[in-house]
Structure 1
């Protein structure tokens, strides 16, 4: 590591891969005494895969999706002594994680899992981690295992 990171952004989705990337980020935050923000972005792009598909509306997002894993991550990070905050939002995860959120939070390192829960979406519109690696203006660590 060439420099010290002070502001980490860690996108999570409740998957095992996200759990591994989160724990890696906690270790990095501890070593660097860095702040850490974990984010869950509910993808609300209109990807129709079945006639029954109904696009997500902002109000549905707040009530219909289990985001309790965010509380677990927050507790784990605080117990590890990390200055940690959470953000839950909806939108296009690619642009939010690569562009908007790092700019808003002054991120100097994004720690992201190589895969997540969105296998169908990834096949149709591309991998979020791949997009982030190619487009982020800060360093990106992709956690594979």
Structure 2
């Protein structure tokens, strides 16, 4: 049914709820989970004046790698196949288009919302963009406060 399931992680509770659902699907279909974090080059280019962009990117990528590695260990402990990917670019288009193509993903499992309300108002929801623009199936997971995402 599915071979590779893309799960974008931004550190939010919703992202980990989506990962828990992706794990359930991966168990059923023997799919590999591809954990993705996108370092938003537009964001750090805008706010990092008088700072070396290379250094800023690597600091953000190091934080992303640590988060992904931790999540990957938890996924592996459940006997599932997993890989981690840090990409640079616009998160919306990277999640919707670039990562599925580059990593052969046939499903994206994403939380309903991961950013704060102000950012959603100003730039629009990443999830809504991914649903509209992705060439692969997208499963949107609602945040359920009763869902335990222990260990993440």
Query: What is the TM-score with the length of structure 1 in the denominator?
Result: 0.86
Alignment deviations for residues 58-78 of structure 1 (CA, whole Å, 9 cap, x no partner): 431222563322122101110
CA RMSD between the two structures: 2.2
User: Which residue number in structure 1 is paired with residue 110 of structure 2?
Assistant: 112
The alpha-carbon deviation at position 46 of structure 1 amounts to 4.7
Q: Bigger shift: 90-99 or 117-126? A: 117-126
The within-5 A match list for 1:60-139 is: 60-64=56-60, 66-67=63-64, 68-139=66-137
Partner Cα distance (1:119, 1:106) in 2? 32
Query: What is the TM-score with the length of structure 2 in the denominator?
Result: 0.82
Alignment deviations for residues 115-145 of structure 1 (CA, whole Å, 9 cap, x no partner): 1135433221111100000011111000112
User: Which residue number in structure 2 is paired with residue 141 of structure 1?
Assistant: 139
- When residues 48 and 121 of structure 1 are mapped into structure 2, their CA distance, relative to the original with a 3 A threshold, is farther
User: Which residue number in structure 2 is paired with residue 54 of structure 1?
Assistant: 48
The alpha-carbon deviation at position 27 of structure 1 amounts to 1.0
Partner Cα distance (1:105, 1:47) in 2? 25
**What runs of 5+ residues in structure 1 fail to find an aligned partner?**
none
Alignment deviations for residues 11-65 of structure 1 (CA, whole Å, 9 cap, x no partner): 010111111001111111111000110000122225999xxx3368343122256
- When residues 35 and 48 of structure 1 are mapped into structure 2, their CA distance, relative to the original with a 3 A threshold, is closer
User: Which residue number in structure 2 is paired with residue 31 of structure 1?
Assistant: 28
Matched, 1:18 2:15: yes
Quick check: 1:58–1:90 contact (8 Å CA) kept in 2?
Answer: no
Partner Cα distance (2:45, 2:88) in 1? 17
**What runs of 5+ residues in structure 2 fail to find an aligned partner?**
144-152
Matched, 1:44 2:38: no
In structure 1, the residue corresponding to 2:115 is in which secondary structure? coil
In structure 1, the residue corresponding to 2:42 is in which secondary structure? coil
